Amino acid sequence: MTLRRTVVIVGVLNLIYFGVEFYFAHQFNSVALFSDSLDFLEDAAVNALIFLAFAWSVTARARLSYFLAALLLAPAGAFLWSAISKVLDPVTPNGNGMSLVGAGALCVNMFCSPTTA
């Protein structure tokens, strides 16, 4: 498998699981799942940057990195808002559902992690 294809697959899987965790974070009232979903979004953005960096100049890659950094600030702000809201109005999250979503995250991360011999 080529490096470009690997980067695309890992990026797409991370983006998909961002959506899964983001959805269930709201369903289960879980700030932990919400913050982990942001990690998946960050991983997807980094993979997009790597994919684009294969063909772009250094200047273009630098501009793109600033855009992605700004893009990642929006979910971080949303996380802070969610965390503050939960502190002010605490709700116990659904632990069983969170465990299932966490197991899915483990599977995605294990599949995307490089293997060494």
Q: What's this model's pTM, rounded to 2 decimal places?
A: 0.75
What are 15-38's pLDDT values in tens digits? 999 999 999 998 988 888 888 898
Burial of residue 47, with CB atoms counted within 10 A of its CB: 0-12 exposed, 13-18 middle, 19 or more buried: buried
What are 32-79's pLDDT values in tens digits? 888 889 889 888 988 888 888 888 888 888 888 888 777 777 777 777
* Domain ranges, ordered by start, for the chain: 3-112
Q: What is the DSSP string of 62-107?
A: HHHHHHHHHHHHHHHHHHHHHHHHHHHS-----HHHHHHHHHHHHH
